[in-house]
Amino acid sequence: MRLKKDVIIIGAGAAGMMCAMEAGKRGRSVLLLDHATKLAEKIRISGGGRCNFTNRHTTPANFLSHNPHFCRSALARFTPQHFTALVERHGIRYHEKKLGQLFCDGSSQQIIDMLRRECNQAKVQWQMPCRVTNINRPSARGVGFMLETDVAEFETESLVIATGGLSIPQIGSSSLGYRIAEQFGISVTPLRAGLVPLIFARDQLAQLSELPGVALDAEVSCNTGRFRENLLVTHRGLSGPATLQISSYWKPGSPIHINLLPGLDAKAWLLEQRRSRALLSNVLAQHLPRRFAKAWIDSIKGEQDVAMHHYDDHSLNKIAAQLHDWQIKPEGTAGYKKAEVTLGGVDTRELSSRTMEVRKVPGLFFIGEVVDVTGHLGGFNFQWAWASGHAAGQFA
């Protein structure tokens, strides 16, 4: 038997549920299917279990894409205020942690329950777990889609792909969305792990071997990205918000530049203390974690940790320059197993920015992380999932 629906959405994550409830509210019959047994695991583990569900300061500049303007329209029509109003209507308490990042006071499960309730009110039907085995265009006119699954066969006018990215395969990410794009001749921009810890080569790790767990406030830059946040030394390299942010801008072979003393004129500060009998590491420890200061000096070629009055101006200038621009060439990233997002995806030139519909395949939509729009850390990725899901939900 073949079941007919107006809209079928593959992927019951953040974008898929938002799209389903919006299409359902318009009176469309909607089926939301997912291969997972547990609903919306990415939302559940997000924000350390509290879901950083949006960012008050969202602008298109918070997103990476081969077409930076693509996200504008959807973001303008469904804003952080719209999502926050929904959260408030459901009585979910939340707080701003920092930099506009909004988190649940309780747990991310509240966001999942809210979306599930909204979908149920909009009479959305669920099918999970459900594995899609084949998709094709049933009619000679090329309208609508036929889906073969391990549960039943389905027919639909509108097919929305909301299968997310490749990160955290342990909880059910898959490449299905990209494969569907390929099947319909839709281009996909190169994929890579983003918002991910950076890994160092063995010799660099040896210099930092005493430091795992040390955190510091730093400004990190690479290519066109620049972020000031916490940097965390790990036993494999660097992590923490500043590292995750810059990882999305890093390309193999590029160095990352770390300003260890942002907001301070290191040269003037060190020169003021050049007659001091204190060790350089003790002076640096006024602004840096002591353990880090010592290891950092040892890592600089030709420098030793001696009393300040032993340094000449030339050496202090050199040290100051390195404090403001410590360069490291990571060997790689920790990969999709540890990444929060996948950079790249369905090429936005293939999609309408108003509807998320594929221009050359009417009735086919792509939303959320599977699209080549990736947010910075801080609630932006969910805001894109809500906004793109909302946009498609008005037209699917």
Ligand X SMILES: Cc1cc2nc3c(=O)[nH]c(=O)nc-3n(C[C@H](O)[C@H](O)[C@H](O)COP(=O)(O)OP(=O)(O)OC[C@H]3O[C@@H](n4cnc5c(N)ncnc54)[C@H](O)[C@@H]3O)c2cc1C
Residue nearest to ligand X (CB): 13
> Which residues in 167-226 contact ligand X (CB under 6 A)?
167-168, 172-174, 176
Q: Which residue stretch of 226-234, 279-287, 306-314, 380-388 sits at the interface with ligand X (rule: CB under 6 A)?
A: 380-388
374-395 CB burial, b ≥16 within 10 A, e <16? bbbbbbbbbbbbbbbbbbbbbb
Q: How far is the CB of 343 from ligand X (least distance, A)?
A: 11
Q: How far is the CB of 139 from ligand X (least distance, A)?
A: 24
Q: Which listed residue (7, 8, 13, 102) binds ligand X by CB under 6 A?
A: 13
Subset of 278-307 contacting ligand X (CB under 6 A): none
**Candidates 1-9, 156-164, 253-261, 301-309 — which segment interacts with ligand X by CB under 6 A?**
156-164
Task: Output b/e per residue, 123-145; b: 16+ Cβ within 10 A.
Answer: ebbbbeebebeebebeeeeeebb
Minimum Å gap between C-beta 118 and ligand X is 15
Q: What is the rounded distance in angstroms from the CA atom of residue 382 to the CA atom of residue 376?
A: 10
Rounded to the nearest 10 degrees, how much is the dihedral formed by the CA atoms of 340, 344, 346, 351? 100
Residue 10 as a binder of ligand X (CB under 6 A): the answer is yes
Dist CA 47 CA 104 (whole Å):
9
Closest CA to 157 of 319, 377, 396, 383: 396
**Is 16 a binder of ligand X (CB under 6 A)?**
yes
Task: Give the one residue of 74, 132, 180, 222 binding ligand X; rule: CB under 6 A.
Answer: 132
| Crossing angle (nearest 10°) for helices 380-393 and 80-89 | 90
Query: Strand, coil or helix: what is 265?
Result: coil
CA distance 103 to 254: 34
Per CB under 6 A, 62 contacts ligand X:
no
DSSP class of residue 363?
T
Q: Considering only residues 32-51, where is the footprint of ligand X by CB under 6 A?
A: 34-36, 40, 42, 45-47, 51
Establish if 162 lies at the interface with ligand X (CB under 6 A).
yes
Residues in contact with ligand X by the rule CB under 6 A: 10-16, 34-36, 40, 42, 45-47, 51-52, 132, 162-164, 167-168, 172-174, 176, 340-341, 368-369, 379-382, 385
